[in-house]
Amino acid sequence: MDWTAEFDKQLAGELPDVTVACDEPMSRHTSFRIGGPARRMAFPKNGEQLVLLRAIGQRCGGRPLVIGNGTNLLSPDEGVDRLVIETSAAFQEITEGETPAAVTAAAGASLARLADFACRRGLGGLEFAHGIPGTVGGGVCMNAGAYGGEMKQVLQSAVVLFPEEGVRTLSCDALDLSYRHSLLTDRPDAVVLRATFQLTVGDATKIRENMRDLMARRKASQPLEWPSAGSTFKRPTGHFAGTLIDQCGLKGLQVGGAQVSEKHAGFLINRGGATCADVTALIEAVQARVFAQTGVRLEPEVRIIQG
């Protein structure tokens, strides 16, 4: 049943100021540059708008989906018959926290801006996050991490919307962060509205140098010139996915426009015109070959959106 007419009507009555796009290509909002149209995509400017949007979308049958920068997403070619709520365009405020060395950021703030904000105040701890191209909401959901750092080390608390229970502030412990997992990955209906990070006072120049060093390491080892969603697979216990894929001779393996990167075998890249079907088929081919040759099962880290 078409839910959009009722959604448009209720939105016009309750939230006339929110920007909403019709049939917005997901390829414009995912770093893979893949995905057909979302029936509706809304761009809230603050937490109140996000809460209301989610409620209206749910009520009308739009199965709301909240996304950040779309840097860990694979979206179906046929599009998504859902309300996509995109936080990164307008819900980005970052402020100093209420306690010393704390910083609070809205869900859509980019991790790069957050790390930069902290660095300018001589606050360390987020250097690892500076080169991760996601948002605060996506970063908390995925417990994003790199170069020995992860959100779990610096997250103090997050304000989370639960559809049935309302808005609650949860401690880092209650958010249950572990490797590429959190309460949010188990509860896809829950939404991070904002998060507070407890950082450490340090030297701004050294923090900046550390961020530049990590970015240089990224540029040297990752195929950042091609669209991708970063590491496609989770790190299997005791192994590195990229090393296993390389050892199986799969660098350069291609399905349609999707390819195992020659530079970093852990990245599947869009060489031009790749579809979701191409990437999915390549994921399956890599999984099958790696399992056959090493006995290790690779699990996707990238989140595959249900249309």
> Any contact of residue 89 with ligand FAD (CB under 6 A)?
no
> Any contact of residue 146 with ligand FAD (CB under 6 A)?
yes
Our answer to whether residue 221 is catalytic in this structure is no
Q: How far is the CB of 184 from ligand FAD (least distance, A)?
A: 5
> Any contact of residue 192 with ligand FAD (CB under 6 A)?
yes
> Any contact of residue 224 with ligand FAD (CB under 6 A)?
yes
Q: What share of the chain is helix, strand, coil (3-state, %, to 5)?
A: 35, 30, 40
CA 274 to CA 280: how far, in whole Å? Answer: 10
Q: How far is CA 34 from CA 12, 185, 190, in A?
A: 30, 22, 25
Q: How far is the CB of 46 from ligand FAD (least distance, A)?
A: 13
Interface segment toward ligand FAD; rule CB under 6 A; list 112-120, 136-144, 164-172, 232-240: 136-144
How would you label 248-280 residue by residue, b for 16+ Cβ within 10 Å and e otherwise?
A: bebeebebbbbbbbeebbbbbbbeeebbbebbb
Query: 241 and 231 in contact (C-beta within 8 Å)?
Result: yes
Quick one: tokens of 216? 């240089």
Q: How far is the CB of 294 from ligand FAD (least distance, A)?
A: 23
Our answer to whether residue 180 is catalytic in this structure is yes
Please tell me which residue in 180, 194, 235, 303 is annotated as part of the active site.
180
How many CB atoms are closer than 10 A to CB 68?
28
Question: Roughly how many angstroms between the first and final C-alpha of the chain, as a whole number?
Answer: 14
Instruction: Please name the residue that has the structure tokens 């020995």.
Output: 148
Quick one: tokens of 132? 């991760």
Q: Is the Cβ of residue 181 or residue 289 nearer to ligand FAD in the bound state?
A: 181
> Any contact of residue 26 with ligand FAD (CB under 6 A)?
no
> Any contact of residue 265 with ligand FAD (CB under 6 A)?
no
> Any contact of residue 67 with ligand FAD (CB under 6 A)?
yes
Our answer to whether residue 301 is catalytic in this structure is yes
Q: Is the Cβ of residue 6 or residue 30 nearer to ligand FAD in the bound state?
A: 30
Query: 31 and 24 in contact (C-beta within 8 Å)?
Result: no
Q: Is the Cβ of residue 101 or residue 107 nearer to ligand FAD in the bound state?
A: 107
Looking at the annotation, which residues are catalytic?
A: 180, 231, 301
* Interaction site with ligand FAD (CB under 6 A): 31, 66-73, 87, 107, 132-135, 137-139, 141-142, 144-146, 184, 191-192, 222, 224, 228-230, 303
